[in-house]
Amino acid sequence: MKKSIIIIAVLLLGFSANTQNKKWTLKECVEYALENNISVKQSELDVDLADIDKLTAIGNFIPSLSASGGVSENTGLSFNPVTNNAQTTTFLSVTGRINMGYTLFDGLRNFRQIQRADISKLASQYSLNKMKDDISLYVANNYLQVILNKANLEVFKSQNEVTKAQIERTQELVDAGSLPRGDLLEIRATDASEQQSIINAENSIQISLISLAQLLLIKDYENFDIEDEGYDVVDVGISDKTVSEIVAKAKETRSEIKIAEQNVALAKKDLQIAKSANYPTLSAFFSYDTRFTDATSFDQRIDPDNPIVTEQIGTVEGTGQAVIGEFPNTNTVIVGADPFLDQLYLNDGIAYGLQLNIPVLNGFSTKGNIKRSKVNLERSKFQLEQTELDLESTVYQAYVDAKGALKSYEAAKLAVESQALAYDYAKERYDVGLTNAFDFSQSKQRFDNANIELNRAKYDYIFKLKVLELYFGIPATELKF
């Protein structure tokens, strides 16, 4: 038993260690953000609301059905709901009703509401896609920033190792009297400056990691880390495209254009719905109601012991002979209430028919709504045109930025090659005592700055290249790094 517990504990600790040491790839970060980012979730709720609007529009084609009932006890002078006679007594009454209605014609408003709901859902889906693209790029930018900071840290550490080796070498030369002590102090000052740069670089890495973790809604900042190897410039052919090709493709695929187009379609549909109010509305209705009361009532009944009575009803003119008539002999008796189910059957009633509503004048409300819808339609058309212009301008800017970033990256590589040769030459001269420590440290600093600038230019070009690919229609989750 103890061995089993130990084995389980070891497995759990190993699983925990693997979880804490996990390094996130860019693809994992993007996928996690798309599943957990708050802005994406809010956009998904907009899609859900569009589904609800569609459900409501479909519901307009279903007949309305309602049921009502009531129970009351009346004391004093009240109207009997069955006999409709006023009587002074105490009685219980029950009423029930079922109503059903259906719109036969409403100027096609219900059909257009369904069409509008479909357009609205499509627009919400495009908005969700745009939000996912934006979040993906934002994650990629933050991810590349972490990689850049880590690359810079490696530059600082690598050069500091060289500096430490130079300190030992310079110490030997100073002790031998070949170099002045000032050179040793200069090298040590350079080492102190590089140590400070290393600390600043480590802080930059931690801050950028926290920013990325917050974007992903990950709370464990201390154990969060990314995979910082295997990311290089990957061009899938976008650099060979002309800016006109990219602009044309962007107008076909980008969500901004599709959202604006759906807004125009929504405005057109709203105008049609507003015009529907000018048409008559025809509806059908059906209702069923019944009632019950336990109130007693009065009834005239024939006396079984003496069913007939005779009474003089007149005389014969001229003879004076009496005219006798026979009449039923009735007595007024109190009758109790009929059984509950019998009353529901005997006292029920139905009503059905058609209702036509013709709009004549409503204070120019319909006319105002139509004009307002026309204005909104024109505004949405202008917005579509403006969106196309903005997208075209943005793509041109992204194209120029990518080309400029490429030139900067190529120049940075040449600068590193030149500074590397200059640094090697300065190092050789310093090692044989032909240059002082200050000149050597300046050459080394220029070489360090060239490497840092190369890192910056590299990842700046990678990001801007991916932005251009995104505008060309490549999904954010399929971008290659």
In this prediction, residue 18 has a pLDDT band, given cuts at 50, 70 and 90, of very low
* pLDDT at residue number 185: 83
**302 domain-assigned:** yes
**436 domain-assigned:** no
Phi first, then psi, for residue 312 (nearest 5°) are: -75, 130
* pLDDT at residue number 411: 93
- Are 481 and 466 within 8 A, CB to CB? yes
* pLDDT at residue number 260: 93
Structure tokens at 85: 């006679």
- How far apart, in whole angstroms, are the C-alpha atoms of residue 380 and residue 372? 12
- How far apart, in whole angstroms, are the C-alpha atoms of residue 420 and residue 428? 12
Nearest to 51 by CA among 127, 141, 122: 122
* pLDDT at residue number 269: 93
Average the pLDDT over 313-332 and give the result.
72
Quick: pLDDT tens for 169-224: 778 777 777 667 777 787 788 888 888 988 998 999 899 999 999 888 888 888 89
108: left (phi over 0), alpha (psi -120 to 50) or beta: left
**322 domain-assigned:** yes
CA angle 80, 84, 90 (to 5 degrees): 15
In this prediction, residue 438 has a pLDDT band, given cuts at 50, 70 and 90, of confident
From start to end of 303-442, where are the E strands? 308-315, 322-328, 330-335, 349-357
Q: What is the pTM of this model?
A: 0.74
Round the average pLDDT of the chain to a whole number and report it: 82
Give the list of residues 6+ apart from residue 120 with CB closer than 8 angstroms, or none: 50, 53, 262, 266
**315 domain-assigned:** yes
pLDDT at residue 101 is higher than 50: yes
User: What is the total count of domains within the chain?
Assistant: 1
* pLDDT at residue number 119: 92
- Are 381 and 420 within 8 A, CB to CB? no
In this prediction, residue 71 has a pLDDT band, given cuts at 50, 70 and 90, of confident
Quick: pLDDT tens for 266-292: 999 999 999 998 999 999 999 999 888
**Residues present in the chain in total:** 481
- Are 359 and 277 within 8 A, CB to CB? yes
* Tokens 């925990």, located at residue: 16
| SS3 state of residue 399 | helix
Buried b (16+ CB within 10 A) or exposed e, 213-224: bebbebeeeeeb
**314 domain-assigned:** yes
**93 domain-assigned:** no
- What percent of the chain is predicted at pLDDT more than 70? 88
The parent domain of residue 317 ranges over 297-335
Cα distances (angstroms) measured from residue 78 to each of 75, 158, 171: 7, 103, 119
The highest-confidence range among 157-166, 233-242, 402-411, 440-449, by mean pLDDT, is: 402-411
- Are 223 and 20 within 8 A, CB to CB? yes
**319 domain-assigned:** yes
CA angle 16, 17, 23 (to 5 degrees): 110
Average the pLDDT over 118-137 and give the result.
90
**172 domain-assigned:** no
